[in-house]
Amino acid sequence: MSTAYRNRIQEFKAALSEKHINLETLRELCFNGIPFEGGIRALCWKILLNYLPLDQTLWESFLKKQRDLYSQFLKEMIIQPGIAKANLGLSREDVTMEDHPLNPNPDSRWNTYFKDNEILLQIDKDVRRLYPDMAFFQRPTDYPSQLILDPQNDYETLRRRVEQTTLKAQTVNRNRSGVTNVSSPGKALNLYPSNEYEVLPSGSEAHWEVVERILFIYAKLNPGIAYVQGMNEIVGPIYYTFVTDPNTEWKEHAEADTFFCFTNLMSENRDNFIKSLDDSQCGITYKMESVYSMLRDKDPQLFLKLEEQNIKPQYFTFRWLTLLLSQEFLLPDVIRIWDTLFSDKDRFHFLILVCCAMLMLIRSDLLAGDFTVNMRLLQDYPISDVHTILTKAKELQDTS
């Protein structure tokens, strides 16, 4: 470890030891990357994502309250409905039409239960494939949820619900372009050959199952947006950062802390996931066009070339912006980009600068390429050095 890096760690420790944290100072430090050592990055993200209050004296009581609240969500949204489902058919005496699974009323709890299962299937499919190039999400967590795995709770778990759920006719998935993919229920439920994922022993749960639970609770608490494919790519790096925290008393509560930080980040980013807002000023279309507007100002020649070739921003920036570049780089690089994004006050404007920088850094290739070559470049971005990209984005910010 170099002396400069050691000094940098000391600067972070000094900033984080203040009774009342100076957010401006912390933002400036974090902008150039946050050290992993000593759990500094995980702690900084919790502050930058507006989860932890700036007054450290409040942390203990605040964290206890939030983690208790998350336990309550697990009880109300997973365990209690699961107990009701497990008990169904054990006793016939008190089953009223209101309680009956065949009750046609759209507000009945069973109708809600079955609708939730459709969302759960989509989440399940996505989280099992989270970062497939890493074994991490398939491995068991060091801190499985005692509440979820408590043998006293005889209930239908999310894992069991996925195994049991068969949609009556077909599984229908609609993507953001409105295209409907119809597949047979058999195919939908046989996505994972039994040898693809190791079955963990009783009392263990894989990291992807924890992520699944976080997304399911989020969907239940936010019915207006529920779950949209891609949210798994946003929650993944946050959970990974918190659950690899070397500080065990933080690591133990990674699930609850991830849930609240993800919820806060989504409160800023959720409009990108709501199709009805796509063309509004807060929607994704406006943001995609902002990348091209900035490019027109910064590099008119490159902008005209892309226009000439009819390469529209939605062909590639939709994924870049919605998923905060999480699909374009390896996980450690995504985390490094997010250090800077989270530390910038106007983080989503800085993301547009990063996208513009990414285009300008491959300008010679784009100016030389035809439509097919350029589309391939933009959909499989060739530069892996994120430091170069962030430096260029900062340069654009300073000259705008």
Task: List the single range of 125-139, 231-245, 368-382 with lowest mean pLDDT.
Answer: 125-139
**HSE-up of 1 (CA within 13 Å, CB side)?**
9
Is 70 a residue whose pLDDT tops 90?
yes
Q: What is the pLDDT of residues 249-261, one digit of tens each?
A: 999 999 999 999 9
Question: How confident is residue 281, by pLDDT bands cut at 50, 70 and 90?
Answer: low
Q: How far is CA 121 from the centre of its chain?
A: 17
Question: How confident is residue 195, by pLDDT bands cut at 50, 70 and 90?
Answer: very low
Of 146 and 369, the structure prediction assigns the larger pLDDT to 369
Under CATH, which number does the domain 275-399 receive?
A: 1.10.472.80
Alpha-carbon gap, residue 191 to 30, rounded angstroms: 41
Question: How confident is residue 218, by pLDDT bands cut at 50, 70 and 90?
Answer: very high
Domain ranges of the chain: 3-55, 59-88+106-168+200-269, 275-399
- Mean pLDDT, residues 15-19 taken together: 95
**3-class SS of residue 203:** coil
Is 302 within 8 Å of 366 (Cβ atoms)? yes
**3-class SS of residue 36:** coil
Alpha-carbon gap, residue 256 to 249, rounded angstroms: 13
Q: Crossing angle, helix 207-221 and helix 254-269, to 10 degrees?
A: 50
Length of the chain: 400
Of 207 and 286, the structure prediction assigns the larger pLDDT to 207
Report the pLDDT value the prediction gives residue 188, as an integer from 0 to 100: 36
Q: What is the DSSP letter of 175?
A: -
> Measuring CA to CA, which residue among 39, 12, 21 is closest to residue 250?
39
Task: List the single range of 47-56, 110-119, 326-335 with lowest mean pLDDT.
Answer: 110-119
Q: What is the pLDDT of residues 2-11, one digit of tens each?
A: 898 999 999 9
Is 186 a residue whose pLDDT tops 50?
no
The enclosing H or E element of 366 equals helix 363-368
Q: What is the 3-state secondary structure (H, E, C) of 187-201?
A: HHHCCCCCCCCCCCC
Task: List the single range of 82-96, 138-152, 277-291, 383-397 with lowest mean pLDDT.
Answer: 82-96
Of 302 and 102, the structure prediction assigns the larger pLDDT to 302
Is 109 within 8 Å of 170 (Cβ atoms)? no
Classify residue 341 as exposed, middle or buried by CB count within 10 Å of its CB (0-12, 13-18, 19+): buried
Tokens of 285: 């279309």
Report the pLDDT value the prediction gives residue 95, as an integer from 0 to 100: 44
* Cα R_g (the chain), whole angstroms: 23
- Mean pLDDT, residues 148-158 taken together: 77
Q: What are phi and psi of 90, to 5 degrees?
A: -80, -30
- Mean pLDDT, residues 220-232 taken together: 92
The model carries a pTM of 0.86
- Mean pLDDT, residues 53-58 taken together: 97
Alpha-carbon gap, residue 74 to 205, rounded angstroms: 15
Average of per-residue pLDDT values in the chain: 85
Is 278 a residue whose pLDDT tops 60?
no
Q: What are phi and psi of 172, to 5 degrees?
A: -115, 120
- Mean pLDDT, residues 135-150 taken together: 90
Tokens of 387: 């430091």
The full DSSP string for 149-198 is H-TT-----HHHHHHH---SS-EEEE-TTS-EEEE-HHHHHT-S-TTTSP
Task: Provide the residue type at 172 as one letter.
Answer: V
The full DSSP string for 325-350 is TTTTS-HHHHHHHHHHHHHSTTHHHH
Is 211 within 8 Å of 243 (Cβ atoms)? no
Classify residue 270 as exposed, middle or buried by CB count within 10 Å of its CB (0-12, 13-18, 19+): middle
**3-class SS of residue 171:** strand
Q: What are phi and psi of 20, to 5 degrees?
A: -115, 115
